[in-house]
Amino acid sequence: MWFLKKLCTSNARLEGKTVVITGASSGIGKETARDFYGRGARVILACINMEEANEAVKDIKSNPPFRIKKDEYQNGAGELAIYFLNLCSLKSVKDCAKNLLMKEAAIHILVNNAGVVAISYEKTEDGIETTFQTNHLGHFLLTLLLLPKMQSSSPGCRIVNISSIGHIFGDIDFDDINLEKSYGPLKSYFQSKLANILFTRELARRLNKANVHGINVYSLHPGVMPTKVTRHASSTIFPGGSYAYKFVLWVLPWAFKTVEEGAQTTIYCSIDEKTANETGLYYSDCNIVNPRRKVTNDEYAKNLWDVSCKLLNLEPEENFTKFLQTVSRQI
């Protein structure tokens, strides 16, 4: 349906801007990278699979988004670079951040896009449930490590966290954050997507309290679309789950978005002039929407922040400047 597929209409150019996108070798991340590259940005694909990332770079360079003609696209294109990032390893997150801080003169936009859904229960090398670390904690740490660079690159910097409408089914189990007692593949996903929105809200609050201006934070639901994130459904949710998803996609195509359509709200939050003075909010279909009521609970968001810090062996210092200095010492 047309009203489910609103597009970012901004003609903003991104020459001189550097963008970091996690999980940009496929899906929404790749389409976001394609759009930003066409606007003249230096786009960094932070990915775990280098072969896929290199293929993505070739594809992005050869195929423009639907809004641009090929000759205009190539004439106005920016740069593409690849950095290795494995969100399941906090050491990899730190190494990636260190490389970015050393090699990049500035970072203006960070899109925390990478994610997993409906995977079997396992823990990372850091002893943290994989979905929670991939979808939330790894991005939490990466964002904190890159914030000083973004401060020096401001104003006009933005952090965009890809969440999901699935957050409405989520809850944060502070007593069992790894879900060792009650794991479910969708339960873990919904918890992590709720965490994305709570992190956005709390980070915006702390930046404001510390009088750090020029960095806005956004979270969003991109829409439902056929991407790789459903590939585990048959083995973790119910037998044939992946095929059932594809069948629904075939029967009800109007209810789904293409991947390029799914990237539009990410692009909107990252560059649109109308969002330049907004922060800490949640978006869907290029509009502000109200998330689940629990998200507006400041204490709930603070508790997640504190638990996230504890998992990273950080003291949740209220003085945000001192806190970032402590985080930076980790690398």
Q: Is there a catalytic annotation at residue 189?
A: yes
User: Which of helix, strand or coil describes residue 71?
Assistant: helix
Token pair for 224:
């439902």
Question: Pairing state of beta strands 287-288 and 281-284?
Answer: antiparallel
The catalytic residue among 189, 218, 268, 282 is: 189
Q: Which residues are catalytic?
A: 189
